[in-house]
Structure 1
Amino acid sequence: MKIPNLLTLLRIVLIPVFVLVFYLPYSWAPYWAGFIFALAAVTDWFDGYLARKLDQQSPFGAFLDPVADKLMVAAALVMIVEAYASPIITIPAMIIIGREIVISALREWMAELGKRGNVAVSNIGKVKTTLQMAAIFFLVLAQPGSALAWAAIATLYMAAALTLWSMIEYLKAAWSDLTDDL
């Protein structure tokens, strides 16, 4: 098994560990949950870097890497929505999760047409992912209502705005294929 794929599998294994630690009734739990989430986020960057650097890209990794990312982000956002119990968090979380569903379906459909490259990951998506991961990390650590929580919420809204922007860009790139028989 290639190192990048092992890192991706590690990220998936970390999801239930993250969830368990997040819900532990101890004062240290948010810090360890944040550490686990940060470790998973770093493996997301590192597995792609290593796959390119070591020329270890594989179909398995190309499939599993985005799945692992979406599972970790969705799990974290659902738990944060529950913990904060506020529409202020729920709205951007729904935007982020909804966009991931739409774009995953769009990429799958475009791949069937042989046009997957039309909806490849963009720089906007990379910035969005960075903001999203930072926001989630700090929302896990922060006490609701704290200055850190408000800063993390602002970051989550920036990530949600970029999420919408990148979704619009992807839809524009695929629009002629989506509407050619209307």
Structure 2
Amino acid sequence: MNFRSGLLNLPNLLTLGRIAAIPLLVFFLFFDGPRASFWAAIIFSVAAITDWLDGWLARKWEVVTVLGKFLDPLADKLIVMAALIMLIPHDRVPAWAVFLILAREMIVTGLRSIASSEGVVIAASDLGKYKTIFQMVAIIGLLLHYDYYWLFGLRWELFHADMHHFGIFFFYIALMLTVWSGADYLFKFFKVIARK
């Protein structure tokens, strides 16, 4: 099989792998404990790495496909939504904040569809990229959640990390960037549509 061409090229397979990982992530998040949380964080981290890798490979090998353009953002949104929704019952994220994030994603996706049907392309801003980076870091921290001692388990305060506080700090930065980038996209959309 040639992984550089066709619908099932390596970037698309990595994206499909990200989608396939969602049920496994959800399974571990049904349990509340350090071990299940650790494995959920590992799955999400691997998914985050493949998100970067599939885009990089697609550009490098020049195998950007219509299927890839559809699947890549879908996979990102699904795994982020799954993680955030599953974290609500564990009291690791506020439900209202998750609602805002999901509402922004749905609104922007809807606006993109309308713009595309009108033959309009609205360039993505760097805000969206920063939002995604902070979101990924925040979710990994929130999935880990518990206190960790990073030097071979030695309980020295110098090597102590409260992953929930780490995650929630980045989560609120991501939330601010989510709202800001959503408002920015809304402004650009109405500005472009008004010209037509």
Normalised by the size of structure 2, how large is the TM-score? 0.83
2:103 counterpart letter in structure 1: G
Provide, for residues 22-79 of structure 1, a one-character-per-residue CA deviation record: whole Å limited to 9, x for no partner.
2246641111110000011111111111100110100000011111111000000001
Counterparts of residues 159-178 of structure 1 (less than 5 Å): 159-176=174-191
1:81–1:124 Cα change, 3 Å: same
Asked if the contact 1:92–1:156 (Cα under 8 Å) also holds between the matched residues in 2, the reply is: no
Q: Which residue of 2 aligns with 1:81?
A: 88
Q: Distance in 2 between matches of 1:147 and 1:82?
A: 20
Determine which structure has the larger helix proportion and give its number. Answer: 1
Asked if the contact 1:81–1:90 (Cα under 8 Å) also holds between the matched residues in 2, the reply is: yes
1:40–1:179 Cα change, 3 Å: same
Q: CA deviation at 1:121?
A: 2.6
Q: Are 2:113 and 1:108 equivalent residues in the alignment?
A: yes
Q: Which residue of 1 aligns with 2:53?
A: 46
Asked if the contact 2:88–2:95 (Cα under 8 Å) also holds between the matched residues in 1, the reply is: yes
Q: Which residue of 2 aligns with 1:153?
A: 168
Counterparts of residues 1-182 of structure 1 (less than 5 Å): 1-24=8-31, 27-84=34-91, 89-115=94-120, 117-118=121-122, 120-143=123-146, 147-176=162-191
Q: Distance in 1 between matches of 2:33 and 2:143?
A: 14
Structure 2 segments unaligned to the other structure (5+ residues):
1-7, 148-160
Asked if the contact 2:29–2:87 (Cα under 8 Å) also holds between the matched residues in 1, the reply is: no
Provide, for residues 89-118 of structure 1, a one-character-per-residue CA deviation record: whole Å limited to 9, x for no partner.
223212111100000001011000111x21
Q: CA deviation at 1:177?
A: 5.2
Q: Distance in 1 between matches of 2:34 and 2:60?
A: 40
Identity %: 39
Please identify runs of 4+ aligned residues in structure 1 that moved more than 6 A.
none
Q: Distance in 2 between matches of 1:91 and 1:150?
A: 18
Structure 1 segments unaligned to the other structure (5+ residues):
none
